[in-house]
Structure formats: structure tokens, C-alpha cells
Amino acid sequence: MDYLIEQALNGFSIGAQYSLLALGLAIVFSVMGLVNFAHGEFIGVAGYAMFAMAAMGMTDPWLLVVFAMATVTLVALVLERVAFRPVRNAPPTTGLLTAFGVGIILQNLFLLMVSPRPKAVPELSALNQTVEVAGHNFTILQFLEVGVTSVAIAGLVWFLKGTRIGLAMRAAALDFTTVRLMGMRANRVIATAFAISGLLASIAAIFFIARRGAIDPFMGLLPVLKAFVACVLGGFGSLPGAVVGGLLLGLVEVLLIVLLPDKLAGLRDASVFLIVGVILVFRPQGILGRRVELGDKTA
């Protein structure tokens, strides 16, 4: 029973990270139809930003966190401006492949400017301390992950319902042209979507880095693939779907860690993807997605 509760929180806290990443993907996709394959690299950007700060002698964790979040948001805006704006009206495949190229660029920039080898970022490791709550062992990080993610999601909901640009983003998911006819600037709507996706990714990144204590140039690949999985599970482009898909994925992963013996540890990722495949066979539109027929406007 103890074990169960601990693992459940573990699953939720890992799932929370996937949810944050998946939400960012889903927001950008729903607003401009772009499948941002480079989304995972935001984790690397956050990591290397913190690493650079720490290398210059600034090791205050709060400062690092704020700096990382600001850098990622800025990078997201720059990428939108430089790489994604030229392909804004191109077919989805072009956008996906552009993003794929952007991802490769960022990875190799980390590699070129820092090192191909992993680097330690120990400043946030204090968060891994265990605390005892009602007889169970948890880490501070787990509470933070669940708590901060909940706050972020609540903030996002408020933004989408309570601000005009949020309304525009929701409307743009179905009909961008008419949003422009209202006098809403397309560039502003899309830039906001990117900024939000970067901000959410930076939060997830901080948690990832706190858990691992180290960074490497290719650290973004697996998380972004998982975030894609979360999106597909929930129904691509659906925001609630992204959250649910992310949490589900976290629980499944923890379940697999518990169930699979160490000898089969190499099959953990494979099993996650196998489960995705099976779900897609029975519900090609995802769990919360609407049924999409061949020929509908999709990614």
C-alpha cells in the first residue's frame, strides 16, 4: 500500500513533466498547425543556459531557474521568427521537417560550444531530498512537479479563457483567417503561442535537470518523443488531451519500471511505444480526440 502511494505520486510527477511538454506541442500545433519536433531541445537550452550561468559563478538556484525560463522563452520566440515564420503557410510536412532541422542545429550547437560529453548541473540537486509525509517517503521535487504543473495549467486555462489573445488562440485553432478579420495580429497570436510553449517547456526542463543533475546535447530527444506520444494518446492538438496523455504516460512508465525486471530494462521505452501502437490501432484519433477521417485537416 505504501509502495503503491509512493509510486502513484512518482507516476504523476513524471507525468506532469510530459504534460507540460505535450501542452506546449499541442498549443503550437493547434494555433499554426506546426508539429514542433524541436520542442525537446528547449530542455537542452534550459540546461545549457543554467550550465553557462553556473560556470560564470552564479550558482543561486532561483537565479538559475529564472534565467533558464527567460532564455528558453526567448529562444522559442527567436525560432518562431527565424525558422518557422517562412514555412508558416506551407504544408504540415514542411513544418515538421523544418522543426526537425532546427532540432539538429540546436543539438549540435550544444555539442560544438560546450562538449559532446555530459556535464553536471548539480545546483538543483537539493530538490531530490526525501521528506517523510504521513509515513511515506517523497522527494521535494515530486511535490514541486505536481504543484507547479497544476498552477501552470490553471494559469494557462485562465489565459485562454480570460484574455483576448487567449481567446484568439482558441479561435485560431479552428479558423485563423477569421481571427485576422477581427483585427487580431497573426504574428502576435503565433508568437504568444510559442512563448507559452517555451515557458511550459522550461518548467519541465528544470524538473528534468533537477532529477538528472546532468545535461548532454541530445537530452531532449527522448522527452520530446514521449511528449508526442502523450499528444497522440490524448488526441493531437487537444489541450486537455495533452495533459491527460502526459499523466497517463507517466503512470504507465512507472508501472513498467515496477513490473519489468532489470534484465528487461532495455524494453521499457519499447514497451511504452508498443502500448502507444496498440492504442492507436483501436483509437486512431487518441483517447480524447475526435474521429478524424482521411482528408480532414490534420498534421
Partner 1 sequence: MLEIDGVSINYGPVSAVRNVSLKVEKGEIVALLGPNGAGKTSLLSAAMGLRPLAAGSIRFKGEDMRRLDTESRVRRGLTLTPEGRKVFANLTVLENLDLGAATRAKGADFHADIEMCFELFPILAERRHQTGGSLSGGEQQMLAIARALMSRPSLLMLDEPSLGLAPRIVGQIFRLIRDLRQRDLTILLVEQNAHEVLRFADRAYVLSTGECRYAGPAARLQEAGALMQAYIGELVA
Partner 2 sequence: MNTIAFAERTRGSRPFLDARLAGNLRGSLWLVLIAAAIGLFVMAFGSPFIIRLTATAFINLIAVVGLQIFMGNSNVVNIGHAGFMALGAYFTAIFATPVMIKASMIPNAPFGLAGVEVGALYAFLISVALTSLIGLLTGLVLVRLAGIAATILTISILVIVQGVLVTWTDLFRGAQAFFGIPKVVGLGLIIVATAAVLVVARMFKGSRLGVQLRASATDPLAAEAMGVDVKRLRLIAWVLGSAVVGCAGALYALYAGTINARAFYFHTAFLTLAMAIVGGMRSVTGAMVGVALLTVLLELIRILEGGITVLGIAFPEMLGLSGLMLGVIIVAVMCFRSDGFMGGHEIEEVFAMLRRRLVAGKREG
Nearest-CA neighbor of 207 among 192, 228, 223, 194?
223
Residue 261 binds what, of partner 2, partner 1, none (CB under 5 to 8 Å, by partner type)? none
Min dist CB 95 to partner 2, Å, is: 8
Write the burial class of residue 133 (CB in 10 Å: 0-12 exposed, 13-18 middle, 19+ buried). Answer: exposed
267 is a contact residue toward partner 1 (CB under 8 A):
no
Among 77, 90, 140, 186, binds partner 1 (CB under 8 A): 186
Provide CB contacts within 8 A for 191, sequence distance 6+. Answer: 77, 80, 81
Among 133, 163, 284, 290, binds partner 2 (CB under 8 A): 284
Cα→Cα distances 60→170, 201, 206, Å? 38, 21, 14
Residue 105 binds what, of partner 1, partner 2, none (CB under 5 to 8 Å, by partner type)? partner 2
| Pairing mode of beta strands 214-215, 136-139 | unpaired
Nearest-CA neighbor of 233 among 180, 282, 298?
282
Residue 200 binds what, of partner 1, partner 2, none (CB under 5 to 8 Å, by partner type)? none
What is the greatest pairwise CA distance in the chain?
Answer: 60
Cα dihedral sign for 69, 74, 79, 84? positive
Min dist CB 210 to partner 2, Å, is: 25
Residue 167 binds what, of partner 1, partner 2, none (CB under 5 to 8 Å, by partner type)? partner 1
Among 1, 4, 266, 291, binds partner 2 (CB under 8 A): 266
Q: Which residues bind partner 2 (CB under 8 A)?
A: 35, 83, 86-87, 90-94, 96-98, 100-112, 116, 217, 221, 225, 228-229, 232, 236, 263-271, 273-274, 276-277, 280-281, 284, 286, 292, 294-296, 298-299
Q: Which residues bind partner 1 (CB under 8 A)?
A: 164, 167-168, 170-171, 173-175, 177-186
